[in-house]
Structure 1
């Protein structure tokens, strides 16, 4: 039945993978790579159980990535589970390597540890010291200082680095999911407020009643976002306010606030550095600003109407109301800037390639004395 609906297959694909497709393919690529390595014949007969466990872990990782076998794909937790199995398989395979075989992987393992572990971490300190000893031994032509005990410690350090990398991805994924759900909730709130204000336009009118200039007839004016009554007697103020209040007052103000927030989100993206990971944190933060701007425009005008801001409680034209809606919609930056900082911190946590340490300047050759 779904085959007769145009785009149903693509929609089902999007629903199944939903932002985790790149992460799934990353795990699948790692599984295929390790399977190719394990397919090569091995001389060690004592490692058959370790190799069997590694192959079983790879099979389990591919089973978990199958979206038809479970419903965890909505939260992308199946990717995390598959990554755990892949890390377990890699750890078992590394334990089957001899010190001579493991030496060729030492630069990559050292880079992984430096990338994801803190400078003060004991695993990183050990790996950096071991890498330096191996490099010095190779330069001096001495035997490589790799023993069985150091081999086990090295594998444990790499496992710790992979676990740290997985926690960084989980943190970023959780942050994006929370921001998106909050944005959806705020968008629903904006829609509900727009519908209720259109149905009951006289319950909480978004109108102001400034006193007219000297010499004008009447005591007050009624000013709303979509209409105005220039001269209203005091005893008819409530009645005229209900008549002037339009069903689209809230909708216009929220739309103006949303547009202003969109401009603010566009300008705020220049402050957020991008990332090579598959997490749309900048996009989620930009989407959060839109409903926030619509709500701050409405709530700000309600505060002004209630006299919360001295001197700004008597706007005397619809144009002034619209202008203040623009300002209030843009001012959502005061609230969302804290979320932007947290998002940038999460992006920085999902680390890219570690920066190379600065090299010491080479000593200048001694000049011959004259």
Structure 2
């Protein structure tokens, strides 16, 4: 069972416990009975999504589309709303309801304002239910849409990783079969020519530069791992982000060494030895952090929407 299933299952158990705690339904409160039935139906859908068994091909398709994950979360949210609405009052639940809605809705959202101004007993129970249900649905909808945004970003990262992998593989194969086509040797009028694998060009030069560039990128990926916060989102991005960094680092190392060999940095950078050339490959691989830092920031914003964090004091 994956992490998202564990979280959904624990919350589903809580829904069923809350439903049982409501006690026998009031025969005069038909609306409450309807909400109880909705809670049971949505709980059954969640069970089906969690325990669904599919063929390998369908499993891959479901993983890519994420429909079973998002259906489970949406049905769970509807079940939680139904359990709250099935009660005969909201006095004891108001603090928790307000906190949950505040995680996703802005302070000036009319549905949040109506919930925060609600005073139990001020309106008939049916109107109180409408206010609570409307606010909860708006809050959960925003969370569900954030899940969909996370999945879209994950799929884009996977597609980008595949493209980078193909490009790096082609560069390595070309360098291996035709060493002169992608020259990895660097020289100048004042400095001797040095190559990654020695004094002469070799078929493994491009592969070696890519490996060292990937190593430099791994260093930045470790930094990403250390600063990453725990996530309860059903989509975890850090592995895909690290893959992008490593593959991009390998590609940038090749491009950077080509630039050094072309004399773009003449007068600024001098490569006098094989060790210096290999070190520059590592540095160039790490330099992908400049480009992927924007990706990291964007991913953080998307994930923060999918797993709302408490606002810090003084923030709006």
TM range (shorter): 0.7 to 0.9
* Higher CA-based Rg: 1
Q: Does residue 223 of structure 1 match 2:223?
A: no
| Residue matched to 2:72 | 82
5+ residue gaps, structure 1, are 1-16, 135-143, 214-220, 229-243, 359-370
Q: Does residue 287 of structure 1 match 2:270?
A: no
Aligned-pair CA distance for 1:345: 1.7
* TM-score, length basis structure 1: 0.72
Q: Secondary structure at the match of 1:254?
A: helix
Question: Does the 8 Å contact 2:104/2:308 carry over to 1?
Answer: no
Aligned-pair CA distance for 1:250: 0.8
Aligned-pair CA distance for 1:256: 1.3
The structure 2 residue matched to 1:159, chosen from 129, 134, 137, is: 137
5+ residue gaps, structure 2, are none
Aligned-pair CA distance for 1:212: 5.4
Question: What are the equivalent positions in structure 2 for 1:100-249 lying under 5 Å apart?
Answer: 101-130=89-118, 133=119, 144-147=121-124, 148-211=126-189, 222-228=193-199, 244-249=200-205
CA distance in 2, matches of 1:44, 1:29: 30
Judged with a 3 Å threshold, the aligned counterparts in structure 2 of structure 1 residues 37 and 313 are, in CA distance, closer, same or farther, namely closer
The structure 1 residue matched to 2:15, chosen from 11, 20, 34, is: 34
Question: What are the equivalent positions in structure 2 for 1:46-85 lying under 5 Å apart?
Answer: 46-47=30-31, 48-69=33-54, 71=59, 72-75=61-64, 76-85=66-75
CA distance in 2, matches of 1:199, 1:313: 30
Aligned-pair CA distance for 1:114: 0.8
Question: Does the 8 Å contact 1:208/1:224 carry over to 2?
Answer: yes
The size of the alignment, in residue pairs, is 303
Aligned-pair CA distance for 1:27: 2.3
Cα RMSD (Å)? 2.8
Deviations 1:104-132 (A, max 9, x none): 211111111011111221111122222xx
CA distance in 2, matches of 1:294, 1:124: 49
Aligned-pair CA distance for 1:352: 4.3
The structure 2 residue matched to 1:302, chosen from 232, 254, 258, is: 258
Deviations 1:296-336 (A, max 9, x none): 11011112323333436874432332232122112111211
Judged with a 3 Å threshold, the aligned counterparts in structure 2 of structure 1 residues 282 and 106 are, in CA distance, closer, same or farther, namely same
Q: Secondary structure at the match of 1:107?
A: helix
Aligned-pair CA distance for 1:59: 1.7
Question: Does the 8 Å contact 1:115/1:351 carry over to 2?
Answer: no
Judged with a 3 Å threshold, the aligned counterparts in structure 2 of structure 1 residues 68 and 334 are, in CA distance, closer, same or farther, namely same
CA distance in 1, matches of 2:312, 2:184: 59
CA distance in 1, matches of 2:76, 2:102: 21
Q: Secondary structure at the match of 1:280?
A: coil
Judged with a 3 Å threshold, the aligned counterparts in structure 2 of structure 1 residues 295 and 153 are, in CA distance, closer, same or farther, namely same
Judged with a 3 Å threshold, the aligned counterparts in structure 2 of structure 1 residues 212 and 56 are, in CA distance, closer, same or farther, namely closer
* TM-score, length basis structure 2: 0.83
